[in-house]
Amino acid sequence: MEIKDLEPQKVFQFFDEILKIPRPSKKEEKIVQYLIDFAKKRGLEYQVDEVGNVVIRKPATAGMEDRKPVVLQAHVDMVTEKDTSVEHDFEKDPIQAYVDGEWIRSRGTTLGADDGIGVATILAILDSDDIVHPPLEGLFTVDEETGLTGAFALKEGFFNGKILINLDSEDWGEIFIGSAGGMDTVAEFDYEPQDPPAGIAYKIIIDDLHGGHSGDEIDKGYANAIKLLDRFLIKLLYEMPYYLAHFHGGKLRNAIPRDAYAIIIIEPKYENILQEMHLKYLTIFKDEYGKVEPNMRFEIERTVRPERIINDEVAIKLLWALYGCPHGVYAWSKDIEGLVETSTNLATVRTEENKIVVGTSQRSSKESAKDDIATMVKSVFILAGAEVSHSDGYPGWTPNLNSEILNITVDAFKRLFGKEPVVRAIHAGLECGLFLDKYPYLDMISIGPTIKGAHTPEERLHIPSTQEFWQLLLDVLKNIPRDE
């Protein structure tokens, strides 16, 4: 079956169109233009701000004019991850998506259901002539995935709604009422490139790990490719000398790194030791992570000798700093059982012409704990002689258990599906905390269909949960209370 033929048909027709539009973070011009054209074609009022956020307004249906205005919100950008074997240009090529039983998947790339399905759902409602709803605004933000740029740039008065429903959650049956705040910590090592010594160059590769969302999946125990590669390189130092020419790992600040590689130069007499160590740690890594990383690839191969290497002093400091850098869950919530309170993600390493840049990100539902874990990460790299900087970060979203829209949604869920939804906070960062900074009166929830493997090429959208999500949203919209 084709995606566009799935039910609810309008939702999947728009989702199918969105899959064909390139929309990497910070390069959303094509999807923004698509939204503008959508509004113009239907005679709907719209507005675009200086960073590219779009709001499209639709009057209430007959008899709903006196209800509280509602904002339906989703972000238009997508994470651009792909398998190393796949040729795909995210700035030009459409996503190759297909139906696989109850799921929509893509061929070797991220699908972009995060948050393309939210965008498609809003468009389906704005396009409708038979859905009962209050005054509506569709709010489409840019660059959520790499910096929350759109949410940061929102100005007061860009939208008028009193209730905001964020459509960027990934666990059907759960209603989110809070999220973690976050910030980035970046370390830079300056180095003097040196001529390589005589010897043989080897490339050490770890890839095909699960990866995943650095907030929502940080507690799953998935391996970090940078940490594994660095562990091997540190242990190798105990057995033989080598020269480090390159270290590269991870792609995105908000994804657990699923691949990494290093290039080293060794003397020929040490080849046997390198091969023995490789086999030893291949066994160790599979023993430790085999159940959660069944597709792990850990290989060594000869490669072309690099033209330059990293000087020894910096190389050693880098490797030990990466070893000491914390990664994963740091603290669990004392208030909400099963919720990660504080975590940190060792996300990226880049070797450039004369510097090495290490990217990390920290999250917490407590601002003080977020600052503490970021300072902990900073301390490791400061001691190693790196220059360290923090981003401004973004605030968390404090749960409101007395929320009116929460109660409406819970009642609708029970009535439609005969069971209680789960009401909880999420460790991932949502834009809602930033909306509250400028619109403190907003009453908010976040809902969405089930998406698995977000931020990885394993990303997939569950079709039946999308259908139920649609039912719930329409029921909620027709039960919005009067605006008093």
Q: Which of 16, 28, 77, 207 is catalytic?
A: 77
Catalytic residue among 144, 145, 170, 184, which?
144
**C-alpha pair distances (Å), 213 with each of 170, 252, 328, 429:** 11, 10, 12, 10
According to CATH, the topology of domain 183-390 is Alpha-Beta Plaits (3.30.70)
Give DSSP secondary structure letters for 168-234: ----TTEEEEEE-EEEEEEEEEE---B---SSEEEEEEEE-----BTTTTTTS----HHHHHHHHHH
Half-sphere exposure of 469 (CA within 13 A, CB side): 31
Terminal C-alpha separation, the chain: 47
Tell me the whole-structure pTM to 2 decimals: 0.77
* Domain 3-180+396-478, CATH: 3.40.630.10
Domain ranges of the chain: 3-180+396-478, 183-390
Q: Quick one: pLDDT at residue 66?
A: 96
Torsion of CA 422, 427, 431, 434, to 10 degrees: 110
294-329 tens-digit pLDDT: 999 999 999 999 999 999 999 999 999 999 999 999
At 399 the pLDDT is: 85
Query: Given this model, what pLDDT does residue 339 score?
Result: 87
SS3 334: coil
d(CA 225, CA 299): 13
Strands 163-166 vs 70-75: parallel, antiparallel or unpaired: parallel
- Local confidence pLDDT in tens for the 484 residues of the chain: 899 999 999 999 999 999 999 999 999 999 999 999 999 999 999 999 999 999 999 999 999 999 999 999 999 999 999 998 899 999 999 999 999 999 999 999 999 999 999 999 999 999 999 999 999 999 999 999 887 899 999 999 999 999 999 999 999 999 999 889 999 999 999 999 999 999 999 999 999 999 988 988 999 999 999 999 999 999 999 999 999 999 999 988 889 999 999 999 999 999 999 999 999 999 999 999 999 999 999 999 999 999 999 999 999 999 999 999 999 999 998 877 888 999 999 999 999 999 999 999 999 988 899 999 999 999 999 999 999 999 988 888 888 889 999 999 999 999 999 999 999 888 887 899 899 888 999 999 999 999 999 888 999 999 999 999 999 999 999 999 999 8
pLDDT digits (tens, 9 = 90+) for 432-466: 989 988 899 999 999 999 999 988 899 999 999 99
Residues pairing with 176 in the sheet:
424, 446
For residue 20, give Cα distances in angstroms to 97, 112, 125, 151, 203: 10, 11, 20, 25, 36
Q: Do domains 3-180+396-478 and 183-390 have the same CATH topology?
A: no
Is there a catalytic annotation at residue 29?
A: no
Q: What angle do CA 33, 37, 42 make, to 5 degrees?
A: 155
What 3-state class would DSSP assign to 157? coil
Whether residue 89 lies in the annotated active site: no
